[in-house]
């Protein structure tokens, strides 16, 4: 073969290879946290799985740090309209679209990770939630409920919280959601809704006296520079709700839908393991910055549970019969999981 012919052959092969690698489908995935966050890292797991297992037919483009949308509401609106394809939000944010899902964010409902994961792994339960979210939003398809950083705890800048009375008068940052705000009110605090990218400044300038976040979130965002006290009351499991544009999902052929679903399962494994793995580091970082970590006694935790009981009444009053029915369903799922896990404990102890 002549050099010219060889060159043409290589050029043609390169062109055909590039053409073969061109993606047939593209997923545009924004998020509002930085590239060091677990959400971004989990999306790299998803991207790697989907692109490789689709043999390049699907391309995943990730846009961190609010490049395409500045807050959850903007991003969700973009997914709903088809501008974006896949996004992680919180249960309180999703409740702005379908109110009954707020039942899943009531305080002190889930006792630990195993119960939470048992509940959210029940595909029949999740399928029913997916159906109602789709009916209400028209185009937001629930793909999974994972974890978004562990458990919410009260963290403050100048005062150690040990009892419900300690929160009285404090300005506590919350997400802009009624349940979270009502929780702070029930303890005598002043709920102050602030978007995630603005929390660092709000803490450092004294706009708020504290926040309700997991330790991994706190240290990832360097909030320990302002926060000096945390109580591990674990009032809420930080359920991360991942939604996809329904039309985009249904545009995939069946074999690629499976790849996407399997990729999300791999992403879910990462998200659930990450806070468990990262917490030790995060607590050490908090302590080294001068922070104090307090674990409440069972009696102290029950005092918080009793003090926040009116939040459930608030939810039932505002969410109506449908909300009450979903709260009952949620509590039933929790009870079933607790019973199953308690039976496993009993067997393991023999």
Assigned token pair, 105: 């964010």
Q: What is the mean pLDDT of residues 247-271?
A: 98
User: Would the pLDDT of 245 be above 50?
Assistant: yes
CA distance 350 to 348: 6
Decide: 172 and 242 in contact? Cβ < 8 Å.
Answer: no
User: Would the pLDDT of 13 be above 60?
Assistant: no
User: Would the pLDDT of 7 be above 70?
Assistant: no
Going from N- to C-terminal start, the domains of the chain cover 23-348
Cβ neighbours for 15, distance < 8 A, ≥ 6 positions apart: none
User: Would the pLDDT of 40 be above 50?
Assistant: yes
Q: Could you tell me where the beta strands, DSSP code E, fall in the chain?
A: 25-30, 58-63, 86-90, 140-156, 171-174, 190-193, 210-213, 229-245, 292-294
Q: Between 113-120 and 254-288, two packed helices, what is the crossing angle to 10 degrees? A: 160
Q: What is the mean pLDDT of residues 264-274?
A: 97
Predicted confidence (pLDDT) per residue in 286-342, tens digit? 999 999 999 999 999 999 999 999 999 999 999 999 999 999 999 999 999 999 999
Amino acid 21: pLDDT = 58
Pairing mode, strands 171-174 and 190-193: parallel
Predicted confidence (pLDDT) per residue in 166-196, tens digit? 999 999 999 888 999 999 999 999 999 998 8
Q: What is the mean pLDDT of residues 75-96?
A: 95
Decide: 86 and 243 in contact? Cβ < 8 Å.
Answer: yes
Q: Compute CA 266 distance to the chain's CA centroid, rounded to the nearest angstrom.
A: 16
Return mean pLDDT, the chain.
92
Predicted confidence (pLDDT) per residue in 97-126, tens digit? 999 999 999 999 999 999 999 999 999 999
Assigned token pair, 78: 């973009």
Percentage, residues of the chain above pLDDT 70: 94
Decide: 119 and 125 in contact? Cβ < 8 Å.
Answer: yes
Q: What is the mean pLDDT of residues 22-40?
A: 93
* pTM value surpassing 0.85: yes
CATH of 23-348, one of 3.30.499.10, 3.40.50.11900, 1.20.1740.10, 3.40.190.170: 3.40.190.170
Residue positions counted in the chain:
350
**Alpha carbon of 315 to those of 129, 178, 308: distances in Å?**
18, 9, 12
């Amino acid at each position: 073969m002549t050099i010219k012919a060889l060159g043409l052959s290589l050029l043609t092969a390169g062109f055909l290879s590039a053409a073969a690698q061109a993606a047939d489908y593209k997923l545009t995935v924004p998020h509002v946290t930085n590239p060091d966050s677990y959400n971004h890292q989990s999306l790299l797991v998803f991207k790697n799985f989907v692109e490789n297992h689709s043999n390049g037919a699907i391309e995943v483009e990730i846009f961190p740090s609010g490049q395409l949308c500045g807050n959850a509401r903007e991003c969700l609106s973009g997914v709903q309209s088809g501008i974006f394809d896949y996004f992680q939000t919180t249960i309180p944010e999703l409740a702005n679209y379908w109110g009954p899902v707020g039942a899943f964010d009531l305080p002190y409902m889930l006792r630990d990770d195993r119960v939470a994961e048992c509940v959210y792994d029940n595909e029949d339960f999740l399928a029913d939630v997916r159906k109602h979210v789709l009916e209400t939003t028209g185009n937001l398809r629930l793909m999974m409920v994972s974890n978004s950083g562990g458990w919410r705890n009260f963290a403050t800048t100048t005062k150690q919280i040990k009892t419900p009375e300690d929160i009285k008068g404090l300005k506590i940052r919350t997400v802009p959601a009624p349940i979270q705000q009502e929780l702070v009110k029930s303890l005598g605090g002043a709920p102050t809704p602030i978007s995630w990218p603005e929390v660092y400044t709000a803490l450092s300038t004294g706009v708020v006296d504290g926040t309700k976040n997991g330790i991994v979130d706190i240290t990832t965002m360097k909030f320990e520079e302002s926060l000096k006290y945390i109580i591990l009351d674990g009032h809420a499991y930080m359920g991360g709700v991942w939604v996809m544009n329904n039309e985009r999902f249904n545009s995939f052929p069946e074999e690629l839908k499976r790849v996407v679903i399997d990729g999300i399962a791999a992403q879910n494994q990462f998200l659930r393991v990450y806070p468990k793995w990262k917490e030790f580091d995060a607590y050490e970082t908090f302590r080294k910055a001068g922070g104090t970590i307090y674990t409440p006694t069972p009696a102290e935790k029950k005092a918080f549970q009793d003090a926040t009981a009116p939040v459930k009444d608030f939810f039932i009053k505002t969410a109506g019969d449908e909300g009450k029915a979903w709260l009952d369903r949620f509590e039933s799922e929790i009870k079933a999981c607790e019973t199953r896990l308690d039976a496993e404990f009993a067997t393991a102890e023999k």
